[in-house]
Every structure is written in structure tokens, then in C-alpha cells.
Homo-oligomer: A and B are copies of this chain.
Amino acid sequence: MVLKVRAKAPAPSGCPLSACMTLLRGAWTPEVIWSLSSGPRRFSEVRRTLPAISAKVLSARLRELETRCVLTRTVMQTRPPTVEYALTDLGQELIPVIRAIVEVGSSLHQREVQALRKGGSDARAPATVDYEHA
């Protein structure tokens, strides 16, 4: 039995685009960061702001973001102990990215509204143009 050699690198490593995207990868990741952008929150607080996320995924995201130095996890000496998650400096750097994403998302929503007003049935027509002359 010989180990299969991976013919293509999983990530171009040198690329800053892929480097940052690994921080944002995975379901709910931007939402979790966004939820912490207004200040530190506890597990159940984040969960309440993101009602559709499952505990497992939220737990996994928080762990990953911690190991990637995007946020810190602080166990408070209370009874019962509570845990607080807060963005690091690196996490704060991601806020402009997410803000930019939200902006495009909003403009996307406005496009849809306008498309609906205009009639809507051809709003989703394929964008392909066939046989344009060169």
C-alpha cells in the first residue's frame, strides 16, 4: 500500500487571498465574527443572535477561530463559570471585510426589489451572449 501523492496543493499558500479565506471558511463563520464585532459575548448570547446555528457548529467555529487567533476564549471565575469570547486584533481586522460583504449583500437585496418591481419574470435570465462577433 502506497500513499497517494497529492498532485495539487490544497491551497496556493503564498496567496494572501486564500490565506484570509481560510479564516472565513465554514458555515456561519462570518456571522459569528459579526456577532462578536459589537463586543465580547458568551456562548449562549452568540447562539441567541444566530438562532439557526446548531450548538455543535457554533462550538466548532469558536474553537477554530480561537486556534487561528481570531478570537480569545476567557473562562470567568463565576458560579456557574461563564465563558466569554472576544475578537483579537486580527479579528478586528476582519470587520472591514465583513462590512464590505454586508454592503454588497444589501445592494443585492435592493437589486432584487427593483427586479421585482420591473416585472421580475425575466430577472433571472441567463447572462450568456451567444455568437458575438469578434
Contacts and interface: CB of A to CB of B under 8 A. Distances in A.
B19 A73 contact: no
Interface residues of A, number: 56
A67 interface: yes
Nearest to A29: B21
Nearest to A76: B134
A21 to B, nearest CB: 6
Number of copies of this kind of chain in the complex: 2
Nearest to A96: B100
Interface string A97-118: 1101111111111010000000
Interface of A: 8-9, 12, 15-21, 23-24, 30-31, 34, 52, 54, 66-67, 69, 71-78, 82, 88, 90, 93-94, 96-98, 100-109, 111, 126-134
Given A20-B101, A109-B19, A77 B127 contact: no
